[in-house]
Amino acid sequence: MASMVADGLRQGKDFLGPGLPERKDRMTADSFNAVEIDLAALRENYANIQAVAGAGVRVMAVVKADAYGHGMVAAARSLWEAGARTFGVAEIEEGIALRQAGVGGEIVILLGILPAAAPEIVRHDLTPVLFDLETVAELSRRAVAAQKEVDVHLKVDVGMGRLGIAPEQAVVFASAIAGLPGLRLAGLLSHLPMADQPEAAAATAGQLALFNRVLAQVAALAPADRFVHIANSAGLLYHPASRFNMVRAGISLYGCYPDGAAVPVAGRPVLRPVMRFVSRVLQVKELPAGAGISYGHTFVTSRPTRLAVLPVGYDDGYLRRLSNRAVVLIRGQRMPICGRVCMNACMADITDLPDAATVKPGDEVVLMGCQGDEEIDADQVAAWLETISYEVLCLFGNRNRRIYRN
């Protein structure tokens, strides 16, 4: 198995294990576009996050959503090398894929499960988040039948308004788990909805206080070595009181700050972007003044213009909203996208590039990442798209061929 995984990674593929397909590779070996994943940066970010969390705090490496577009199996294996021993995924199929790829440690199913999934939880030694008594009972029955003990985490909703039980139900659920054979209440968790907003610090403090009251109520019903976790990346970085003995690092692992900050400030770890999105110049052409560019002629040249046509568009995750907003890096300089982004192409105005006359087909273009002394980070792309870095990474990473470095 290990050799099969290694072979897959060497080929730039995401190996999911026997009986499961590889991630559909949208690009061939001749594709112009790729995302480059720097695994050394990923491991460095993990180490820096662990240093901030402290020696007594377990860092759960969140690798759901195909590791935010970075490739779940490759990311998890690299993070294991860095010391990660707990991984967070959304759905059970992700947990099974990690197990079949040889990933050890604790794999927490953050979205929880339905009762029908209980046999697979037991079979693959996964740790589900629970918030439903029917699921609790079925999981106990399956664990007993298999003569196993299954670790579970109980989720309490202290203000997210999403998954989890009400705080007043915590004792009932914890008692049910503690009273059933085959189950071990290995964790208690919640989620902070506004930890990345400084103006909401008081609300976050109130949610933490409520979580602490719940912990006190169920203290006698859970093992002494249980994990307690409520801190996402924002909680980890901005609210030290939320760290308890486990934190869930997601966006920070991949080199972005959850509040969109461009540079670290005192007390924050230095994070390096893990993903770089690159393309190539396909054609260079000259247009006169007064020429319309792309669909709808939303950009009309005001002077003789030199264009670089790029083979990347919304089919590659470079969305139409970037039209006449984004810039790309060519020869280490920021060049504006002009005209509407098409399905498989867009245009950059390189007229003001000092050596524009020497730009030729095949030259590297950086849509996100560094080139020379310039950088376009995920938060800047997110601002152009009117969204957040999380979505940008998933968008680019899951729609393009991945090349792994380091």
Q: What is the DSSP string of 358-385?
A: G--TT-EEEEEEEETTEEE-HHHHHHHH
Which one is catalytic: 13, 46, 64, 257?
Answer: 64
Residues 134 and 208 in one domain: yes
- Are residue 190 and residue 309 in the same domain, yes or no? no
187 in a structural domain: yes
Sequence-distant (6+) residues with CB within 8 A of 222 are 174, 178, 185, 188
Strands 275-280 and 283-287, by their bridges, are unpaired
Q: Note whether residue 328 is domain-resident.
A: yes
Mark whether 135 and 178 lie in a shared domain: yes
**Residue 23 lies inside a defined structural domain of this protein:** no
The band of 25, judged by pLDDT with boundaries at 50, 70 and 90, is very low
390 is catalytic: no
Q: Find the CATH number of the domain harbouring 149.
A: 3.20.20.10
Query: CA angle 374-283-391, nearest 5°?
Result: 50
With respect to residue 263, please indicate whether it lies within any of the assigned structural domains: no
204 and 296 assigned to the same domain: no
Active site residue 404: no
CA-wise closest residue to 289 among 297, 300, 299, 280: 300
Please write the tens of the pLDDT for every residue from 242-272.
Answer: 999 999 999 999 999 998 875 555 667 889 9
Domain boundary among 201, 223, 254: 254
Within 8 A by CB and 6+ apart from 323, the residues are 294, 298, 337, 339, 340, 341, 346
**Bridging pattern class, strands 283-287 and 364-371:** unpaired
The better pLDDT of the pair 150, 19 is held by: 150
* 97-121 confidence digits (pLDDT tens): 999 999 999 999 999 999 999 999 9
Residue 21 belongs to some domain of the structure: no
3-state SS, 163-175, equals CCECHHHHHHHHH
In CATH, what number is assigned to the domain containing residue 337? 2.40.37.10
More confident residue, 62 or 262: 62
Residue 171 lies in a domain: yes
Specify if 98 maps to a domain.
yes
For the entire predicted model, the pTM comes to: 0.90
Burial of 253 (0-12, 13-18, 19+ CB in 10 A): buried
243/368 same-domain check: no
- Shared domain for 285 and 240, answered yes or no, is no
pLDDT of 82 higher than 90: yes
Question: What was the pLDDT predicted at 259?
Answer: 87
Measured between alpha carbons, how far is 318 from 341 in angstroms, rounded to an integer?
Answer: 8
pLDDT confidence of residue 269? 83
Query: What are 378's two structure tokens?
Result: 């995920």
Name, in order, each residue with C-beta under 8 angstroms of 359's C-beta and a sequence gap of 6 or more. Answer: 281, 284, 306, 308, 330, 331, 350, 353
pLDDT of residue 99: 98
Q: How many alpha carbons lie under 13 Å from residue 127 in its C-beta half-sphere?
A: 24
| Among 254, 284, 314, residue at a domain's last position | 254
Residue 87 lies in a domain: yes
Query: Are 342 and 295 spatial neighbours (Cβ–Cβ below 8 Å)?
Result: yes
**75 and 195 housed in the same domain:** yes
Confidence (pLDDT) at 18 = 31
Q: What is the pairing mode between strands 183-189 and 227-229?
A: parallel
Task: Given the residues 148, 285, 295, 360, select the one marked as catalytic.
Answer: 295
Domain that holds residue 221: 39-254
Q: Are residues 175 and 322 in the same domain?
A: no
Domains in the chain, number: 2
> 126: which DSSP letter?
-
Query: If pLDDT is split at 50, 70 and 90, which confidence band does 22 have?
Result: very low
pLDDT at residue number 19 = 33
Tokens 């060497």 — which residue?
10
Q: What number is the average pLDDT over the span 43-58?
A: 96
- The answer on 318 and 172 residing in a single domain is no
Lowest-confidence range among 19-33, 95-109, 236-250? 19-33
Question: To the nearest whole percent, how much of the chain has pLDDT over 70?
Answer: 91
Strand order in the sheet with 246-249: 227-229, 183-189, 150-155, 127-130, 106-109, 86-89, 58-62, 246-249
Q: What is the pLDDT of residue 154?
A: 98
Render pLDDT for 272-307 as a digit per residue (tens, 0 to 9). 999 999 999 999 999 999 999 999 999 999 999 999
239 and 342 belong to one structural domain = no
* Mean of pLDDT over the chain: 92
SS (H, E, C) 48-82: HHHHHHCCCCEEEEECHHHHHHCCHHHHHHHHHHH
Residues 155 and 126 in one domain: yes
Q: What is the pLDDT of residues 128-180, one digit of tens each?
A: 999 999 999 999 999 999 999 999 999 999 999 999 999 999 999 999 999 99
399 strand-pairing partners: none
Domain boundary among 220, 254, 288: 254
Do both 168 and 282 map to the same domain?
no
Q: How high is the pLDDT of residue 261?
A: 73
Cα–Cα distance, 339 to 324 (Å, whole number) = 6
Q: For the segment 64-78, what is each residue's pLDDT rounded down to a tens digit?
A: 999 999 999 999 999
What pLDDT, on a 0 to 100 scale, did the predictor assign at position 30? 65
